[in-house]
Structure 1
Amino acid sequence: MTRKPGLGAAVRRQGMRATAVGMAAVFFGISPIPGTGAPPAFADNGVTGPPQALDSPPSDEVSNGGTDYEQKNLCRTGEHQPDTNFKNPTWGQRSLDLDAAHRISTGEGVSVAVIDTGVTEVKGRLEGVEGGGDYIRGEGQGGHGGDTNGLDDCDLHGTFAAGIIAAKAKPGADSFVGVAPDAHIISIRQSSDLFGPKGGDNNIPAGTLNTLAHAVVHAANKGAQVINISIDSCFAAGNWQQNDNRGQDMILGAALKYAAEVKDAVVVVAAGNLQGGSKDATCKGQNPDYDATQRYDYDTADPAPPTDPGTPTYGPKNPFNTASPENPANWTTLQTVVTPAWWYQYVLTVGWVDRSGQPAGVDPSGQAKQDSGTIGGPWVGIAAPGDNMISVNPRPGEDVVGKPNADLADATPAGDGKLQTIQGTSFAAPIVAGAAALLRSLHPDWNRVQVIEQLERTAIHPPRGRDNYVGYGLVDIVAALTQEPGPAVDLMQQYATKRLPPPVPPALPEHRPRNFAIMVSSVALLLLALGAVVSIPIRDARRNRTGGKK
């Protein structure tokens, strides 16, 4: 089933020959590969619309793609911020109202694949995880700690994501619980910032778009009903047509299309985060927003299908069109292309908001940020809380070992004795993946399109109905579980605002009956007043005739 247009997002770095795939979180702070700067602000980039996938997906072979990776850095530890009280729910947990959601659905019977850095089980919190494969070390090569089949996470990134999706509660000890605590997690290790090519540059992380494509097909073939991808890759939009890695992205698109349309999986991806602080970052070019009040549908104006399958194209009635087909939702002024985010036809892309409800890619004045926050784009479908996050902790740091809540973390080391909070689109996406699992458990007969549209329809919409930073708005899990889906509607048309014509002046009211009644009443009052005035001299005359006696 082809998904109706309207969703999508993710971001990170470019390698030399094979695109390295990085994590869309903020806390890792590793700079991308140099040499792929963004074009000037909002310049015409030649991108005319969404990409078009190849027809044939790659195989689901589990291998490292021919690259021998080795561990380059020590494994990360989970830490506690000094003032954290884990018994108090975070603002994000309060906003999700998971207690109410879990009275309706807990995700039972739904398999969620986490394609990430692996998942390490945490006793009592995250157990029964299924090993889905290891694309870093490859089958039989072993990983950190041996041949783990994706069940060892040196980076903690994948475990944090899995915990947000499906961690069990620990009543009395703390307030943390996953969005879908009874969902089944399938872990596939596909990337790592702490591994790299053997003998190569330590700044090149493990994982490519090619191995990500194979991992997507593998997850779909293992029966995952929801697939979470909190990893991504960025390209300067102005260089996209000539980019050497475009072919790999087309293969990834084919894999996503297979997972979505053939296997009916809800594929949730992170929108990615700006890296404006690094001069060599590929993810530092913020994309512009668009005006939802302008819309242009073109059924017959579509260009002929491109002969080169790598050439982006666009389809009929694309809801991202704005003033004209030459610039649908600012496609032609993109600074940064993000994959797999921009494959909106097959994925639901997630941005993040902060505790004030402000989109992370927009400042309080409404201007797009250029240095931090979500990378926006016409592919963003929805948003979720994304800062000051908590998740399970498989590797407590020295200061955390032995503490009552050592199985949880809300920070990681940032160097120089400092801590970095867990935040970013990497950890907003698992919230939405968990919400999709709750819906698929509650409505096992729903297809992926119904699940995605329900999440978008019931989201807390931004003022214009949709924008390029939060999509259709902040996810509302309880609303998604309780509201009737209703008939299929064009969400963009339904929620987009427009200038209304001035109202027609109302007809003048008929006042004649009222005026007549007032006139009659006035005459009657006048006659009464005259009668009273005339009666006074008559009474005085009578008194005079009687001599003034009373």
Structure 2
Amino acid sequence: MLYRKTAALTAATAALAALAAPHAAYATEGPGRTARAGLDGSGECTFPMKEQFAGRPWPLQRVLLDELWQDTKGKGVRVAVIDTGVDNANPQLKDAVDTSAGRNLLKGGKSDGTGDEVGHGTKVAGIIAARPRKGTGFVGLAPEATIIPIRQNDEKNSGKDTTMATAIDHAIAKGAKVINISQDTTKPLTEDSDLGKAVARALAKDIVVVASAGNDGMDGKLKETYPAAFPGVLAVASSDRNNERAAFSQAGEFVGVAAPGVDIVSTVPGNGQCTDNGTSFSAPYVAGVAALLVAKYPGWKANEIVARIEQTAERSVNGHDAFVGWGVVDPVRALAGDKDDVPLEAARPDPAPPKAPAPEPALMAMSETSQERSERYATYAVALAAVLVCVVAGTATVVRDVRRRRGSR
């Protein structure tokens, strides 16, 4: 499997191809402890970073946070981040990470999964649950959720589908209600594979599994990636500032929704933030929304949480689209409603606009019948007779008056 990280101006071209080894491997990009882009969206930044992103990043500018958090900020919801580890030295993640539940599935590094030499997993975790901090407008979408750090990959592409399966089982054991997987492989994997079975076990426990769709979408061709394409997984594509599919985002019928994935600000190991691009950072945006929904609707099943996210997304078409799924996720709309809302089992197309009423047929008059013609002639005759009577009477009156005047002379 492959971590897809790209430079701000070369998002798609820098993505690496997924490896098709006997066990699907996950490749990571980037040299050691170097993040891909600085706070201005260009160049590189080594971490830890001294400066912070002072403003509110653009994906959060579109969200009315007070309205989003009016019912919950995700407290009590455990989100597993299966990635390169989550560094909890960053002040925004110190109180977010449950080190006692973490695990490192690779050789070397901290056993609790809090060592992150790549920085990828730390960014993912920040998008989900970074705590507010003075001096920055960046904050996680579920800033009271708890992160379970699971280190499953590194810059040497050590992760495999078998270790990913182990990571999912660990997340289940540690009480995760949401699992974020910002990795993908194009190697075909069946539901009977180790990874497929692990995903199924998570779904059977009503855990929301969110996965990135991948970054090989420049050609626009439909292609399945895993674990995103497994049934029941919420696959996330990337959208840009215009709510359109980011050029690098992988398209496919398995895509559930899209979320911001261009110029994304998040936490890096040690301190501060950097920007990055990719579906790797779209997935945790959706995982954060899922965590809020789980907190608000604790009785809902995993598929119902997914259906709510998909049904409330901002759509470009009436139904499903292979490029952005059911649309671009709308966090506030997803959380709107009462706590006793009846959930949907699955997303469905919006109702079509009502049809215009059928035009009423025009009445066509028949030609008059012979009886109607006779009646019309009779009417004319009566009227003419009346006129003649008036003329005769008038003439007689005139003659009489003339004779009287002559006789009076």
For this structure pair, what is the TM-score category when the shorter chain's length is used for normalisation? 0.7 to 0.9
Unaligned runs of 5+ in 1: 1-20, 37-64, 196-204, 241-245, 277-284, 289-335, 361-371, 396-405, 411-421, 511-550
Q: Is 1:101 matched up with 2:68?
A: yes
Provide, for residues 128-164 of structure 1, a one-character-per-residue CA deviation record: whole Å limited to 9, x for no partner. Answer: 4124211221xxxx32xxx342111011000000000
Q: Is 1:26 matched up with 2:26?
A: no
Q: Is 1:227 matched up with 2:179?
A: yes
Q: C-alpha separation between the residues in 2 aligned to 1:93 and 1:481? A: 15
Provide, for residues 292-325 of structure 1, a one-character-per-residue CA deviation record: whole Å limited to 9, x for no partner. Answer: xxxxxxxxxxxxxxxxxxxxxxxxxxxxxxxxxx
Query: What residue in structure 1 maps to residue 85 of structure 2?
Result: 118
Return the match for 1:254 from 184, 197, 205.
197
Q: C-alpha separation between the residues in 2 aligned to 1:424 and 1:184? A: 24
Aligned in 2, Cα 1:30/1:352: closer, same or farther, shift over 3 Å? closer
Q: CA deviation at 1:213?
A: 1.1
Q: Is 1:495 matched up with 2:370?
A: no
Contact 2:5–2:15 under 8 Å retained in 1 = no
Aligned in 2, Cα 1:247/1:359: closer, same or farther, shift over 3 Å? closer
Return the match for 1:391 from 263, 266, 276.
266
Q: C-alpha separation between the residues in 2 aligned to 1:377 and 1:425? A: 13
Larger-Rg structure:
2
Paired amino acid for 1:157: H
Paired amino acid for 2:116: D
Q: C-alpha separation between the residues in 2 aligned to 1:383 and 1:268? A: 12
Query: What residue in structure 1 maps to residue 274 of structure 2?
Result: 409
Query: What residue in structure 1 maps to residue 252 of structure 2?
Result: 377
Paired amino acid for 1:130: D
Q: CA deviation at 1:219?
A: 0.7
Query: What residue in structure 2 maps to residue 349 of structure 1?
Result: 235
Q: CA deviation at 1:123?
A: 4.2
Aligned in 2, Cα 1:425/1:389: closer, same or farther, shift over 3 Å? same
Contact 1:112–1:186 under 8 Å retained in 2 = yes
TM-score of the aligned structures, taking structure 1 as reference length: 0.57
Contact 1:436–1:452 under 8 Å retained in 2 = yes
Paired amino acid for 1:488: L
Query: What residue in structure 1 maps to residue 166 of structure 2?
Result: 214
Q: C-alpha separation between the residues in 2 aligned to 1:150 and 1:461? A: 38
Aligned in 2, Cα 1:250/1:487: closer, same or farther, shift over 3 Å? same
Q: CA deviation at 1:424?
A: 1.0
Contact 1:249–1:339 under 8 Å retained in 2 = no
Q: CA deviation at 1:250?
A: 2.0
Q: CA deviation at 1:110?
A: 0.4
Contact 1:24–1:424 under 8 Å retained in 2 = yes
Paired amino acid for 2:33: C
Contact 2:73–2:143 under 8 Å retained in 1 = yes
Q: C-alpha separation between the residues in 1 aligned to 2:165 and 2:19? A: 24
Contact 1:25–1:272 under 8 Å retained in 2 = no
Aligned in 2, Cα 1:393/1:509: closer, same or farther, shift over 3 Å? farther
Q: CA deviation at 1:501?
A: 8.3
Return the match for 2:226 from 339, 343, 354.
339
Q: Give the paired residue count.
A: 340
Aligned in 2, Cα 1:76/1:209: closer, same or farther, shift over 3 Å? same
Query: What residue in structure 1 maps to residue 39 of structure 2?
Result: 81
Return the match for 1:191 from 150, 153, 167.
153
Q: C-alpha separation between the residues in 2 aligned to 1:353 and 1:212? A: 26
Provide, for residues 88-123 of structure 1, a one-character-per-residue CA deviation record: whole Å limited to 9, x for no partner. Answer: 222211123333212321000000000000000134
Q: C-alpha separation between the residues in 2 aligned to 1:439 and 1:503? A: 41
Aligned in 2, Cα 1:123/1:90: closer, same or farther, shift over 3 Å? closer
Contact 2:224–2:254 under 8 Å retained in 1 = no
Paired amino acid for 1:349: A
Q: CA deviation at 1:465?
A: 2.2
How many percent of aligned residue pairs carry the same amino acid?
35
Q: C-alpha separation between the residues in 2 aligned to 1:424 and 1:188? A: 20
Unaligned runs of 5+ in 2: 43-51, 365-409
Aligned in 2, Cα 1:472/1:75: closer, same or farther, shift over 3 Å? same
TM-score of the aligned structures, taking structure 2 as reference length: 0.75
Return the match for 1:436 from 277, 290, 293.
290
Aligned in 2, Cα 1:390/1:465: closer, same or farther, shift over 3 Å? same
Contact 1:390–1:409 under 8 Å retained in 2 = yes
Aligned partner of residue 478 in structure 1, secondary structure: helix
Q: CA deviation at 1:83?
A: 7.8
Q: C-alpha separation between the residues in 1 aligned to 2:62 and 2:322? A: 22
Aligned partner of residue 252 in structure 1, secondary structure: helix
Paired amino acid for 2:144: D
Provide, for residues 367-421 of structure 1, a one-character-per-residue CA deviation record: whole Å limited to 9, x for no partner. Answer: xxxxx421111111111111111111224xxxxxxxxxx51222xxxxxxxxxxx
Instruction: Report 1:87-486 matches (<5 A).
Output: 87-128=54-95, 129-131=97-99, 132-137=102-107, 142-143=108-109, 147-171=110-134, 173-192=135-154, 194-195=155-156, 205-235=157-187, 240=188, 246=189, 250-261=193-204, 263-274=205-216, 286-288=220-222, 336-343=223-230, 345-360=231-246, 372-395=247-270, 407-410=272-275, 422-483=276-337, 485-486=341-342
Q: CA deviation at 1:31?
A: 3.0
Q: C-alpha separation between the residues in 2 aligned to 1:229 and 1:388? A: 20
Q: C-alpha separation between the residues in 1 aligned to 2:335 and 2:72? A: 8
Contact 1:209–1:248 under 8 Å retained in 2 = no
Aligned in 2, Cα 1:249/1:122: closer, same or farther, shift over 3 Å? farther
Aligned partner of residue 429 in structure 1, secondary structure: helix
Contact 2:53–2:272 under 8 Å retained in 1 = no
Contact 1:209–1:249 under 8 Å retained in 2 = no
Aligned partner of residue 225 in structure 2, secondary structure: strand
Paired amino acid for 1:407: G
Q: C-alpha separation between the residues in 1 aligned to 2:103 and 2:41? A: 38
Aligned partner of residue 475 in structure 1, secondary structure: coil
Query: What residue in structure 1 maps to residue 371 of structure 2?
Result: none
Contact 2:127–2:141 under 8 Å retained in 1 = yes
Please give the root-mean-square deviation of Cα atoms over the aligned residues, in Å.
Answer: 3.1
Aligned partner of residue 227 in structure 1, secondary structure: strand
Q: C-alpha separation between the residues in 2 aligned to 1:488 and 1:162? A: 28
* Mean Cα deviation higher: 116-125 or 154-163: 116-125
Paired amino acid for 2:295: S
Q: C-alpha separation between the residues in 2 aligned to 1:353 and 1:249? A: 32
Aligned in 2, Cα 1:249/1:86: closer, same or farther, shift over 3 Å? farther
